Chains A and B, each alone.
Chain A
Amino acid sequence: MKIGTMNDLTRFLIFAVVILAMPVWLDPLGGNYPDLLQKFAIYGIFAIGFNILFGLTGYLSFGHAAFLGVGSYAAVWSFKLFTMNAIPALMFGVLFAGALALIIGFLSLRRSGIYFSILTLAFAQMSYNLAYSVLTPITNGETGLQLAQSDPRVIDNMFVEASAGLPSTNLFGLTMSGYPGFYFCAALLILGFFISMRIFRSPFGLMLKGIKSNQNRMMYTGLNTRPYMLTAFVISGMYAGLAGSLLAITDPLAGAERMQWTASGEVVLMTILGGVGTLVGPMIGAGLIKYFENIFSAFNDTVLAEMFSYLPDALVELVVPVVGLFVGSGWHLTLGLLFVVVVIFLPGGIVEGVDKLVKFIRNREKNVGGKVTPQDQPGE
């Protein structure tokens, strides 16, 4: 079945099945453990939300990490003040991130292009720098906001007597670490994907695409672009807040570096790597980067030596240091090379690149006679 013409329902079902079955198919790839699975789902949500803004309107925000961070802080505060239940934490995370997005978006969207990007970057960096230093009473600075034994947790304390240890986050009693946490994130990811798909397919999505394509025409067609963009910005900020609160739900700590520009840059890279404006691309990009970060960094010489133990010893001594350059402490190098290779060989990101490749091969098969279809000619 051709990906491009796939029925949306089929696409959604395949997506849901693939996500829920991650523990199964990631097992041989060494990725089947709760934390990484959770991270896949969470950063998938982050990237899918980011794509609603960047992919549809073409507005490149370089400050989305601020919303991720605020989502986390709000969630941890909800644990500290009210209850360890995940639902209020989630709601607070989304709400606060949405409110911040409304403010930042309202100001930043007065500009477009690179000016917009730098405005969002500046807002996020301010949030990060303040969270790291002056706002320490709220954020606990470098260490990150954590739960404490002395937290009030008013709602929980009304029903259950406090235990000696720190309580864990839960969903009405179901502990949110480990696999249940993953399934919770996965369910929200699938929901997030569904909403994103509906937005892509809605008149609203069409308007956003129109903004990316030709703002002049939008204006002279009687459309007010600002509220559309602001809505898209807030929606994607809320996705980021959701992702942030899920980070806190699966692991109740909120660190300031979640708001740093590198974190904003990461989601930009995830989206571009997978394919800007494609539905599943950002998810793939997020998965790849998190996989590299967690799995490739874990290889050390001992592991490598074991992996290559089938080779003769002399060869092992040769191969291990060379491969070692690219894994373990060298995982950044592999990631950098991956970016370059993808962008060269799969322009438009992995999803679009693969799509184009498939089309290209099809066309070549079709056009053995050498006839070129009009679409193949360069457009410009």
Chain B
Amino acid sequence: MDAVFLQILNGLDKGAAYALIALGLTLVFGTLGIVNFAHGALFMLGAFCAVTFNKMLLISTKILDPTVTLFKAYKEKPYLEIWFPDVGPVLVDYSVPLSILLAIPVMLLIGFILERGLIKHFYSRPHADQILVTFGLAIVIQELIKAVFGANPIPQGAPDILAGSAAVGSWIGLGENVVYPWWRLIYLSFSGIIIFGVFAFLQFTTYGMVVRAGMRDRETVGLLGINIQKRFTIVFSLATAVAGLAGVMYTPILPPDYHMGMDFLVLSFVVVVVGGMGSLGGAVLAGFLLGIVQSFASMTEVKAILPGIDQIIIYLVAVIILLVLPRGLMGRAGVMDD
């Protein structure tokens, strides 16, 4: 029972990550019709917003280690902690959640620049061209990050009080071994809020309505005299920001490196397509479904029966769903199915 409950939590947590990345991807994919292979790179850029923010807070004076004479070895003492002994350490401690403040404007701006400067010229181009240009873009972004930050993962800690685990088991009457990291619980809630926010935006604002209409039938919306172009810029920026925020919040779970986007890219495409093209709800549902399925497939008991099942379960489930349901879980006809 305890083990199953924990796997459900794991599944939800994974699902939250998949859903959040897929959400931005399906916005761009379903609304703008752009096959965006750079979406993973945008996720990674978000993570590096957190790294940059942390590095900025940690601009330090260097105290040389006198015992090492062969090269400069030093201990760092951040100016922030020297100048503001009270607030400084707290700021540093909370650098990951605080970096959201940096990530939102930066990611919106990056989204805006990319859409205006590059993506908008590709709306009417074949998917092949879109794949090539966004893949190229992803490589360029990756390599730039690698040139600045190196290839090694850069650990980002959660705030101290959230670094450990919550005794979830004692809350709900399960064993004391049922613990779960605070930060993962926060990630789960955060993801819920963002998903809800995006849905609310699409449901209740006029922008959102136009976008939803645009997902159905771009030409008609264009004919209505609505400036669809401007809306598209906003959608792309929004998707970029969602990817970025997903990246920021993921850093304490996975130390970010320049390549992390590519690792998620294929998976997020699978999630989006299993969810069904043009369906936000489908992408979210598929994200959680695949997350949970993957968690359970990794259990020793399951692997004992089907060795290696955890290696392929996501793809296996994807194949089954797509063969049974022609347009994924909730896909609509006419979006990218020809």
Contact = CB atoms under 8 A, between A and B. Distances in A.
- Do A and B interact directly, with beta carbons closer than 8 Å? yes
Contacts of A344: 121, 133
A113 B327 CA distance: 10
Contacts of B132: 269, 272-273, 339, 342-343
B337 A113 contact: yes
B139 A115 contact: no
A152 B113 CA distance: 62
Given A60-B127, A134-B308, A340-B140, A265 B327 contact: no
B1 interface: no
Most buried by A among B132, B269, B270, B319: B132
B316 interface: yes
B128, B131, B142, B322 — which one has the most chain A CB atoms within 10 A of its CB? B128
A339 B136 contact: yes
Q: Which of A54, A272, A276, A348 has most B Cβ within 10 Å?
A: A272
A337 B140 contact: yes
Interface stretch (A9-17, A37-45, A117-125): A117-125
A294 interface: no
Contacts of B311: 129-130, 132-134
Interface string B264-279: 0010011001100100
Q: Which of A261, A340, A348 has the most CB of B within 10 A?
A: A340
B135 interface: yes
Contacts, number: 133
B133 A119 contact: no
Tell me the interface secondary structure of chain A in the complex.
helix
A118 B338 contact: no
A336 B137 contact: yes
Contact of B270 (A112, A121, A273, A380): A121
Question: Is the interface on chain A under 10, 10 to 19, 20 to 34, or 35 or more residues?
Answer: 35 or more
Interface stretch (A85-93, A202-210, A327-335): A327-335
A357 interface: no
B322 A118 contact: yes
Contact of B273 (A114, A276, A339): A114
Nearest to A380: B124
B270 A122 contact: yes
Nearest to A342: B132
A110 B124 CA distance: 27
Given A134-B311, A336-B136, A340-B136, A115 B326 contact: yes
B72 to A, nearest CB: 21
Interface in A55-71: 60
B323 A272 contact: no
A215 B337 CA distance: 12
Nearest to B327: A115
B182 interface: no
B266 A119 contact: no
B119 to A, nearest CB: 12
Contact of B139 (A119, A215, A332, A342): A332
B24 interface: no
A129 B129 contact: no
B147 interface: yes
Contacts of A117: 273
Nearest to B308: A134
A347 B274 contact: no
Nearest to B140: A336
Contacts of B93: none
B308 A339 contact: no
B307 interface: yes
Given A119-B322, A339-B132, A112 B315 contact: no
B63 interface: no
B144 to A, nearest CB: 8
A134 B312 CA distance: 11
A343 B129 contact: yes
Given A118-B270, A123-B319, A276 B128 contact: yes
A29 to B, nearest CB: 23
B81 interface: no
Given A113-B336, A115-B328, A122-B270, A336 B143 contact: yes
A95 B136 CA distance: 35
Contacts of A133: 308, 311
Contacts of B127: 60
Contacts of B136: 335-340, 343
B162 to A, nearest CB: 34
Nearest to B147: A325
B285 interface: no
A113 B338 contact: yes
A119 B322 CA distance: 7
Contacts of A348: 126, 129
A138 interface: no
B17 interface: no
B55 interface: no
A188 interface: no
B147 A330 contact: yes
B107 to A, nearest CB: 20
Q: Which 7 A-B pairs have the closest CB atoms?
A: A339-B136, A336-B139, A134-B308, A333-B143, A122-B315, A129-B311, A340-B136
Interface of B: 35, 118, 121, 124-129, 131-133, 135-140, 142-144, 147, 266, 269-270, 273-274, 277, 307-308, 311-312, 315-316, 318-319, 322-323, 326-328, 336-338
Given A339-B136, A347-B125, 11 more contacts: A107-B319, A111-B337, A118-B274, A129-B308, A130-B312, A336-B135, A336-B138, A340-B136, A344-B121, A348-B126, A349-B128
